[in-house]
Chains A and B, each alone.
Chain A
Amino acid sequence: MNELERILGEVADGVSRRTDALPVDALRSRGVRRRRARQASFSAVGVAAAFGLVLGAAQVLPGEEPPTAPALPSGDRSLPLGACGSIITSIPTVDASMSLDMAPLHLAAAPGDDLDLSMTVHHFGPGTLELDPATVPVLLVLREDVVVGWAWATDPDLSGVPTDGERTFDDFGPAVLCEQGELVPSLDGAPLPEGSYRTFGVLSTPDPEAGLVVFPGPEGNLRLSERVTTLPDPPSGYTLEDVPLPACGEPVAGHEFPAGTVLDPANELRVGEDSDTTFVRLEARWRVTGVEGRAFVNDVAGVVARDGVVVTYVRSSAQVDPRWVLEGDQYPWETTWYWLDCETFAETTLPAGEYELLAMRMVELQQPDGTVRTVTIGYEPVTFTLEDTSLPDANLAPTVELLACGEPGAGFTFPEGVDPATVRVAPTHSGTDEDGNVVQYLDGYGDQLDLEIDLPAVDENLTPGEGGAVVLRDGVVVATFSWDPYGGFATSRHTSRGPSQVLGVLDWVDCATGEHTQVPKGEYELLGWQRVEWWHSGGRKVTRTHAFGPTAFTVYDFEDPDNPGPGA
């Protein structure tokens, strides 16, 4: 055992001894919740501005915008996130040892009225969580992505939160206009005018370095209107009956929706372009006509057929935050679903090919008089193609046919569609030093080539795929290299200076002999390509081919007394 092994062991043991028992019950609860959410993955997105919302026992009917609205703060990208006038399109959710919940997510109130809102900090970690005394629980209120106002807890209890404990803030005042550039609420602004707003619950803390830091909570909506009525709570224990669609293994030809199903061309259903053989993203718009109410059930079910026979299905969660649905208004909706085996219900991969989706939506509306009405919407069958995205899209990421051994490099060009990249080449050899430690020598000679391929910055960590390189000497290929997809040769990293990098080490195999040998000293050029893929922040897998070279490099000989190289 060397010193490093001993020290690492001691540190790990010390940390283990100091660590409190993990909150197993809370962790299991979160995991099971996540598992269930994934199995019935449902997400409703982006609520149109013009609708009322119902929460708890309060209902808001749509109100007209006031004829003259006060000037709202304007967007300023230089302001720290969360400040009045800052621009927020999204805030990443934190779900770790500390999280912030907000209830209800969809708020309704008359302008100037206190909000019936609570935020709760959960602490799953060990010990006591101490919040900064300057922290303020704030509901950020946005119009067109700009923070225009807020409501805040006026006298929050910021004392420590014990492990597995929580602290609730529920003394929120009205939503008021904020002052341009204000970091945390310091003035009592005028009440925000009627209308619909987007909201984020956050904990805001002034910070001497960043100006302001926020701990993010969930996103919601706020509807301010003078017209508020009250509805009873929705019926409890409601469950949807079996959906009238063909079962797995049955044909879809000849299927008809039940009588009374609404077939409205305005109800569109699409299969997201980023869907692949492992998951599907459905995008839809929906509306109800001739009725309005509080949609406390909004369930989509569909079956997917290949060659006319149902092979799998999609299903959203039935119960969501209830929202007020206005007669005739359209609402966007989106869900992501991992393909499941029809019999085992385990996640599965579908073969690439053509599919047909037959889907319907069931909406349960609680009307203003308290009665419940079911609206069943049928969607036109959707035909879609699943491509095997484990292989790069040839249109976006062409394969490069490099030169073969002995071929001249003159006149070679990369195919259309490749992106440029730069490469650094270093002759290298590996070994152990006098202490037995692994060492990679980058000193200008050896039996390997070390490549660093610089790529344009990408959104997320990239995965190297197929690639290859040839080495030319005196304009003729003297060595060729190819590597298998996904990491056989390379790894990747982000760098602080911006571009991403792919790193790899190639064993030199000489064209003439086919043997793994020392690289003969001399002047060379390297020409190559690297396919990479990464998940774009929008959830789409992106694949690109990058081409590099010709890049000159020099190989030295350690035993050459006249020129042994830089490492000698």
Chain B
Amino acid sequence: MTNWPAFTPEIYYVAVAAVFLVLSMVRADHRRDYQTAVVLSALGVGITLASTGITADLFFGSYRVDIFSQVFKVLLACGFFLVVVLCSELSGVERRLHPEFYLLLTTSTLALMLLVSSVHLLTVYVSLELSSYSLYVLVYLRKNQPQRERTVVHYFLIGASASAVMVFGIALLYGSTRTMYLAEMARILPAVISQPAAAVGFVMTLAGFFFKLAVFPFHFWAPGVYEGSANQLTAYIATASKVAAIALLVRLTALGDASAPLAHALVMLSIVTMTVGNVSAIVQKDLKRLLAYSSVAHAGYVLIGVLSMNPAGYAAAIFYSATLLTLKFTCFMVVVRVAADGANITVEQLAGLHRRSPVLALALMLALFGLCGIPPTIGFVGKLLVFTAAMERGYFTLVLIAMINVVISLYYYLLVLKAAYLTEPAPDLPPLAVTVGDKVLAGALIVVITVFGFYPAPLIQIARSAAAVLL
């Protein structure tokens, strides 16, 4: 007997997708589409929030609704809502395609929601693919992007390879454990993880999420896709999509039971990922490419929490995903607002932001310091939790390397800050079209970044209780 109320958020997003499907068939009106999307996505946040207390097993135990999944669903719904709010102009996509844009964004969010509740490897795989395919099409919707075919094919090929690796990994895991259910696997896997087939299968299964999170060596798509997608879509890929990937990495790694070879492999991946990301980001001129490499670096930091394989580490990774959502979204909000015509912007084009919109400049500054992990921002708490978890396991060198990476990253964040705060705007630039709503949103982000940076205890508590159900 299926407990349907537990499934309400997902059903709701199916309905939203249906609404946009209908809208895509009638005459396009981008104001109407935007307003519908904002209202529906805001309602979605409310519905997911209302469903946080529910615990249920659905569909023959392959789908689990618990505090862990619901916390992530709230984050996803918030991410979706925030990205939709940014779409008031959506000039990077042709107007007649706006309903399709919202439709695919909704299906992708739906897929990510399914993903965070999946506790059966096949549901995991199917949800992951649903979200990826939505994104492939979304990337292609960017207008005036001569290389978009190349970008999409590149993205698709790397994504398909990652999926192939993942399916192979799932097959190997099934071969070793004779089950697809994560709960059963958690019971069997510790006994067999020392077998090469199980260990290799396990790491390969993680590959799908390494791809989503842009962990080395599956990160090559990130700069191209970030640059080639509509700005709002990039914001979505950098926020919601990462959040779900972190959720699943945590959920799957919790099965691994701290086996040494696995942890070593993840340590290496983490170090390489953050170093590659940070070093490559230094030379970027395009702001979105820079943020893409910074995402790669952050994937490395998140892995530190995941590979600690202790409750503190999982809680840290969960907290970190919320952190990334806030900080990256703030950066992309600035990108979207500064690039009013929907084009890409270089770091230099931020020039004089402190005069053109002081509140956006302040938000950007805090977000950059947050990404760098400097207190008193929420980003620092994220890093602190991750490092604390790693230190609990005795990974002193790893923490030291991560801190050195933080110093490297400060350099390019400061370059962005310098453009926004030090240089004067070109005289012929039009004033920024920042509405009251934008100012309120930026103000709210500033408050979230600093207040939870100073007093993170409630959020940490939520992350801990979400992590507790995994074990």
- Tell me if chain B binds chain A: no
Query: CB within 8 Å of B: which residues of A?
Result: none
